[in-house]
Structure 1
Amino acid sequence: MKSRNNRLFFIFIALTGSVIAVLGIVLGQLFPFYMESFFLKNDIPFTEQQIEQLKYQLAFILAILLVFSFLLIAYIANRLIKELLDPIEDIIHTARELIKGNYRARAYASGTATITELRKSINMLARNLQEIEKMRKVENERLKTLIENMGSAIMMIDREGTVSIANAQFLDEFQLSLNEVKGRNFLTLDLPKELELFIDHVFLTELPYRKQIEIERNNEKIYKQVYGAPVVGEHGRWLGIVIVMHDITELIRLEQIRKDFVANVSHELRTPITSIKGFSETLLDGAFEDEKMLLSFLEIIYQESYRLQMLIQDLLELSKIEQHGFMVQLAPTSLKDVLIRAVEVTSPKMDEKNMEFDVDIQRDVKVLGDENRLIQIFTNLIMNSITYSPNDTAITLRIKEDEKYGIVEVEDEGIGIEKSEIPRIFERFYRVDKARSRNSGGTGLGLAIVKHLVEAHRGKIEVESEVGKGTCMRVFIPLYKEN
């Protein structure tokens, strides 16, 4: 800015000096002729020496006048440049900063009304741009927060097939990092083949598309509801596509459990009802006349009726436990007393198979629980161990504790459970060995009830098992603390 002002200043001074020099030369040439005609007209005697002297004096005076005029003009020119050009340069500099994106820049020029008005307009523009930038940043942060905290996986792909946006849910889903994804073609990310085909379909049709896909990962099936749509900008310009994936694995699993439950309930109810109906018809057809057959059939009808009654009781109990708002009556409870009561209830069944208890209780532990419900939990677990264990074996009962929980372990020497089946043993009617559990009179609801009761105590249950060696059920109940 200063160099430009200096150039303007020197050009102005040069032009002004040239004009003054020309005027001085003209005056220097005309002045002797004027003086000579003046002396002749007034009959004033003069000599050439006097004329030369007058010329020198005139040249000296003209030189002084020229220097003074030059300095005066230089001062005036400098003031004019500062008052007129410097404010404009300041405004131009502010405008350039705004172009660069520095919306905090402001013009401080002063001068004429026009310059002041221009300065106000530039500053108002800067303030408006700064407000727009703030709003844009806030909107970007909101959008980023929304995308990152959505429960669904989101990926945006531009028209060249390059990934431009991928949220944390998507990265976690496919075990990728942002550096591995952003700026790369989606075909190089080693995505599941089903997803790649879905993306290709959206690219080819350029229309919204929805589909349920099945992905296999670590020998486990995962179900995704995938939605794809084109992204269209201004003037209908096609920018790419956006992919949204909802995990519906749990919904599919629950739907399957519901179907299995309906099928299992129907089957479990049908078996005793069919038996009761069949034997009753046989008796009505005349079999009651044979006393031995009559007693045998009545015994079977009684057993099936009892089994039906137990099934209905367990269903009602499970329904009650699963109701919203179900609570257990929490109070300080001795785990040792609870296990003693559970052992007393299950001892007759143990004696039938010539089994024994191996108790490992170093000291009693007090927990915050419902005594009756805890007895129900451990009675069910011990009965399960008895059912799935061969004769002449032992069931080990242990009481432990850690910083948060009182721990009870029920370990048997039974048939064990396959690792793939462990996640399903708490489902209703799920049976590891269907023939054995059904012959034992079990309803298939015991472990489902146990799980719900443990969760009602804000505890947890873990299972360790090895096929052919046995199973260990580990129940965690929160400790009772006096404070």
Structure 2
Amino acid sequence: MKYYYTRILSASAIILSILLIVLGIILGQFFHLFGENVDATIQQTYWVYLLFTLVLVFVITMFVMAKILQQYVRPIDHFTGVIHQLAQGNYLVRAHNEDTATNHQLMSSINEVAQKLQGNAALRAMEQERLNTLVSSIGSSLLMFGRQGAVNLVNRVFEETFHRNGEELMGKTFKDIGLPSDIEREIETIFLTEEVRSFQSKVLLKEGVCYLEVYGAPVIGENGNWLGIVIIMHDVTELVRLEQVRKDFVANVSHELKTPVTSIKGFSEMLLDGVVEDPVMKRDFLEIMYKESNRLQLLIEDLLRLSSMERGSFEITRTPVDVVEVVQQSVKIVQAKVQEKDMRIDLHMPDQLIIPADHDRLVQVMVNLLNNAIAYSQEKTIVTVSVEEIEENVLITVRDQGIGIMPSELPRLFERFYRVDRARSRESGGTGLGLAIVKHIAEAHQGTVTVDSEVGVGTVFRVQLPTDEQM
């Protein structure tokens, strides 16, 4: 409206100037009427006539100009205001005109432009949201740097991995955001060479050591313009750990197989060469060979069983099983070893506790746990086995008074071939796979196995199994 009134005032000033000029001309035409010899009454009449005419012309002219301005200038001011708001980003504004005939084409064009701008803005907002969602959903840390090396994009995984706030990093250079030194060097190399680089970095975080597979590449625009670089860091800590487990497994299998094979081969060569003539010594050699062959057989059987479990082809047959009967049967199996060490097994169980499970597999779990407790316990100690029902689960506890386990060794206790005391385990005939098998059988029953231990006091294994079949 301010444009409209400004134009009214300007037009009024112009009209007033024109009227003054007209008045001058009129006065010039009737100048002879104001001579000294003209009657004063006639002069007064002409003065009144001139003033009346001037006022009338002024009023008519103002009315006509107001109508012209209202019809032509006011819509233009309105359209100018609408365009100004569109330029400021308000794409919801629309032009309107009460006179549908006048300036209708201009109004329609402005509204069409506003509608298209609104649609484009909505499309850009949707694409930006999709981009943000995609970047946030990437399972790897992502950083993007501009041409000057300043951060202009950070995703959620990077924030969680490095415990940094993405908003605080925006605008900072790659040297100011606390990246590991080797990653900084590689980023600088990418800026200098504008070439793709891939490398692995070992990073020390609050959670521990983390291995990152880092990929860096320049970002090229549609016209071939170099826009910056993008860095993607994928966490391969678990892959590195699995690779180390694989290496350890190969080394342990080789060692475990080598020992009995070497013994069997050595003693058999001595017997074949006729070096040993004493019948008693021959029998001792044969007993050692038999013992080592049994050990080799057990190792191979456990390896095949564990391999079957890990391949997913391991299946259990659920039938109603009395956990109390399973424990009693397992105790009978290990009774000879208990007597050899003059130990005792105390049982704390109800009369009966039925769960859906695989009977033979549960016996294998209990035998492995009992053998483990006996092997790592001193003579004349007690192994306590308890069975109780807690809510919808049965809890089997095996507690010994053995040497205990260091806290640092507990996380690796269920790994294949991992032994707390290798010498004692080997003397007892263990393969180092028992606890790994226990864990797989428990998980196949949708259960869990946990361990607590104190050095010099003993170890407690807890196996928890569901009382109802769970899919």
Structure-1-length-normalised TM-score = 0.87
Distance 2:374 2:402 in 1: 8
Distance 1:23 1:170 in 2: 81
Residues 26 and 251 (structure 1), Cα distance of their counterparts in 2 relative to 1, 3 Å cut: closer
Deviates more, 1:174-183 or 1:465-474: 174-183
1:471 aligns with 2:470: no
**Residue of structure 2 equivalent to 1:281:** 269
Deviates more, 1:392-401 or 1:133-142: 392-401
CA shift, 1:331, in A, is 4.4
1:259 aligns with 2:258: no
| Residues 337-416 of structure 1 aligned to structure 2 (within 5 Å) | 337-361=325-349, 366-416=354-404
| Residues 415-434 of structure 1 aligned to structure 2 (within 5 Å) | 415-434=403-422
Which of 1 and 2 has greater Rg? 1
Aligned residue identity for 1:360 = H
Residues 404 and 479 of structure 1 are in contact (CA less than 8 Å); yes or no, is this contact kept in structure 2? yes
Residues 451 and 461 of structure 2 are in contact (CA less than 8 Å); yes or no, is this contact kept in structure 1? yes
1:105 aligns with 2:93: yes
CA shift, 1:168, in A, is 2.2
1:327 aligns with 2:315: yes
CA shift, 1:383, in A, is 0.8
Distance 1:338 1:166 in 2: 56
Aligned residue identity for 2:8 = F
Deviates more, 1:316-325 or 1:109-118: 109-118
Residues 148 and 169 of structure 1 are in contact (CA less than 8 Å); yes or no, is this contact kept in structure 2? yes
- Which secondary structure does the structure 2 equivalent of 1:156 belong to? strand
Distance 1:76 1:325 in 2: 97
**CA deviation profile, 1:218-268 (whole Å, cap 9, x unmatched):** 695322111122334576555443221111111112122222222222332
Distance 1:192 1:363 in 2: 61
**Residue of structure 2 equivalent to 1:16:** 15
Deviates more, 1:345-354 or 1:264-273: 264-273
CA shift, 1:189, in A, is 4.2
Distance 1:62 1:218 in 2: 98
Aligned residue identity for 2:229 = I
1:210 aligns with 2:209: no
Residues 366 and 406 of structure 1 are in contact (CA less than 8 Å); yes or no, is this contact kept in structure 2? no
- Which secondary structure does the structure 2 equivalent of 1:420 belong to? helix
Distance 2:308 2:42 in 1: 133
Distance 1:193 1:180 in 2: 20
Residues 129 and 30 (structure 1), Cα distance of their counterparts in 2 relative to 1, 3 Å cut: closer
**Residue of structure 2 equivalent to 1:42:** none
Aligned residue identity for 1:389 = S
Distance 2:247 2:163 in 1: 33
**CA deviation profile, 1:279-337 (whole Å, cap 9, x unmatched):** 22222222575422332222122212211221121122112222225332334544333
Structure-2-length-normalised TM-score = 0.89
Residues 30 and 217 (structure 1), Cα distance of their counterparts in 2 relative to 1, 3 Å cut: closer
**Residue of structure 2 equivalent to 1:70:** 58
- Which secondary structure does the structure 2 equivalent of 1:430 belong to? coil
- Which secondary structure does the structure 2 equivalent of 1:392 belong to? coil
**CA deviation profile, 1:169-197 (whole Å, cap 9, x unmatched):** 21221233345544445444444333333
- Which secondary structure does the structure 1 equivalent of 2:419 belong to? coil
CA shift, 1:156, in A, is 2.6
The one of 148, 155, 158 equivalent to 1:170 is 158
Aligned residue identity for 2:337 = K
CA shift, 1:401, in A, is 4.5
Distance 2:316 2:76 in 1: 82
**Residue of structure 2 equivalent to 1:44:** none
Question: Any gaps of 5 or more consecutive residues in structure 2?
Answer: none
Distance 1:328 1:441 in 2: 27
Residues 4 and 77 of structure 2 are in contact (CA less than 8 Å); yes or no, is this contact kept in structure 1? no
**Residue of structure 1 equivalent to 2:47:** 59
| Residues 428-467 of structure 1 aligned to structure 2 (within 5 Å) | 428-467=416-455
Aligned residue identity for 1:14 = A
CA shift, 1:82, in A, is 1.1
CA shift, 1:84, in A, is 1.0
| Residues 221-236 of structure 1 aligned to structure 2 (within 5 Å) | 221-233=209-221
**Residue of structure 2 equivalent to 1:43:** none
**Residue of structure 2 equivalent to 1:314:** 302
Distance 2:446 2:198 in 1: 40
**Residue of structure 1 equivalent to 2:232:** 244
Residues 32 and 247 (structure 1), Cα distance of their counterparts in 2 relative to 1, 3 Å cut: closer
Residues 88 and 109 of structure 1 are in contact (CA less than 8 Å); yes or no, is this contact kept in structure 2? no
| Residues 184-199 of structure 1 aligned to structure 2 (within 5 Å) | 184-199=172-187
Aligned residue identity for 2:464 = F
State the superposition RMSD in angstroms. Answer: 3.0
**Residue of structure 2 equivalent to 1:40:** none
Distance 1:473 1:109 in 2: 85
Residues 218 and 230 of structure 2 are in contact (CA less than 8 Å); yes or no, is this contact kept in structure 1? yes
Distance 1:62 1:389 in 2: 133
Residues 84 and 111 of structure 1 are in contact (CA less than 8 Å); yes or no, is this contact kept in structure 2? no
Residues 363 and 133 (structure 1), Cα distance of their counterparts in 2 relative to 1, 3 Å cut: farther
| Residues 134-153 of structure 1 aligned to structure 2 (within 5 Å) | 134-153=122-141
Residues 276 and 304 of structure 1 are in contact (CA less than 8 Å); yes or no, is this contact kept in structure 2? yes
- Which secondary structure does the structure 2 equivalent of 1:409 belong to? strand
Distance 1:74 1:362 in 2: 111
Residues 108 and 56 (structure 1), Cα distance of their counterparts in 2 relative to 1, 3 Å cut: same
Residues 24 and 203 (structure 1), Cα distance of their counterparts in 2 relative to 1, 3 Å cut: closer
- Which secondary structure does the structure 1 equivalent of 2:443 belong to? helix
- Which secondary structure does the structure 1 equivalent of 2:408 belong to? coil
Deviates more, 1:256-265 or 1:382-391: 256-265
Distance 2:21 2:208 in 1: 101
Residues 32 and 323 (structure 1), Cα distance of their counterparts in 2 relative to 1, 3 Å cut: closer
**CA deviation profile, 1:8-36 (whole Å, cap 9, x unmatched):** 22332333343334334433453475999
Residues 368 and 477 of structure 1 are in contact (CA less than 8 Å); yes or no, is this contact kept in structure 2? no
Residues 96 and 26 (structure 1), Cα distance of their counterparts in 2 relative to 1, 3 Å cut: closer
- Which secondary structure does the structure 2 equivalent of 1:151 belong to? coil
